[in-house]
A and B are shown apart, each in its own frame.
Chain A
Amino acid sequence: TQLLEQSPQFLSIQEGENLTVYCNSSSVFSSLQWYRQEPGEGPVLLVTVVTGGEVKKLKRLTFQFGDARKDSSLHITAAQPGDTGLYLCAGAQGGATNKLIFGTGTLLAVQP
């Protein structure tokens, strides 16, 4: 059972455009991470959000955690070709496990 749904699945945009990726669930998470993965490599951690309503900025990337800690969004301003990759959200449910539940992924292509 997939607990984290991401939308859109695919996104092809021109350099300079803005975009938002959504990560939704019916479950509550103690923390949520966003990763970016490039072909043939492992995911690279971008950010962790832990508090409902939290907003974090990483240069042109803005991450938000929903008030109820069930959803999150990633907004990229003025996308660049270097932003191309697979974006994954991953939720942790806490407790005695470090297991992450990954979202379905959003494949972003930024055309120069």
Chain B
Amino acid sequence: KAGVTQTPRYLIKTRGQQVTLSCSPISGHRSVSWYQQTPGQGLQFLFEYFSETQRNKGNFPGRFSGRQFSNSRSEMNVSTLELGDSALYLCASMRQSSYNEQFFGPGTRLTVL
């Protein structure tokens, strides 16, 4: 069974631009969560989607948004990029009826210049 895939793997943007990251979950997994990982803050929860509905949102500004499609694929968008948005963005998928066991993709490394 294929794992979680994320595209692109690496991205370089400049301040003020916007970016869209994509995540394809493991087949059959309907829950997708996004996390931001930085050296200073560690792994921070961004949001979670299940059946195209956002179920939970972390403490991030409104510039961070996401959505989920009917095939469970998910995208996240960051508008008006700031230098502090440079991070590894991780997507995780989960099957229902599990103990929150999440399977992570390789991440998208975003660098904002």
Does B15 interact with chain A (Cβ within 8 Å)? no
Q: Which residues of B contact A96 (CB under 8 A)?
A: 55
What is the interface residue range for chain B against chain A? 20 to 34
Does A19 interact with chain B (Cβ within 8 Å)? no
Contacting pair A40 B43 (CB below 8 A): no
Contacting pair B101 A99 (CB below 8 A): no
Contacting pair A97 B103 (CB below 8 A): no
Contacting pair A43 B90 (CB below 8 A): yes
Contacting pair A92 B55 (CB below 8 A): no
- The 30 sampled A-B contact pairs (Cβ below 8 Å) are A31-B99, A33-B99, A40-B107, A41-B106, A41-B107, A42-B90, A42-B92, A42-B104, A42-B107, A43-B43, A44-B104, A45-B102, A48-B100, A50-B99, A90-B102, A92-B99, A96-B55, A97-B48, A98-B31, A98-B50, A98-B55, A98-B94, A98-B100, A99-B33, A100-B45, A100-B92, A100-B100, A102-B43, A102-B44, A104-B42
CA distance A2 to B43 in the complex (A): 10
Does A108 interact with chain B (Cβ within 8 Å)? no
CA distance A7 to B105 in the complex (A): 26
| Chain B 1-33 interface mask (CB, 8 Å, partner A; 1/0) | 000100000000000000000000000000101
Q: Which residues of B contact A31 (CB under 8 A)?
A: 99-100
What is the interface residue range for chain A against chain B? 20 to 34
Shortest Cβ distance from B101 into A: residue: A48
Query: B33, B90, B101 — which one has the most chain A CB atoms within 10 A of its CB?
Result: B101
Contacting pair B42 A102 (CB below 8 A): yes
Q: Which residues of A contact B109 (CB under 8 A)?
A: 40
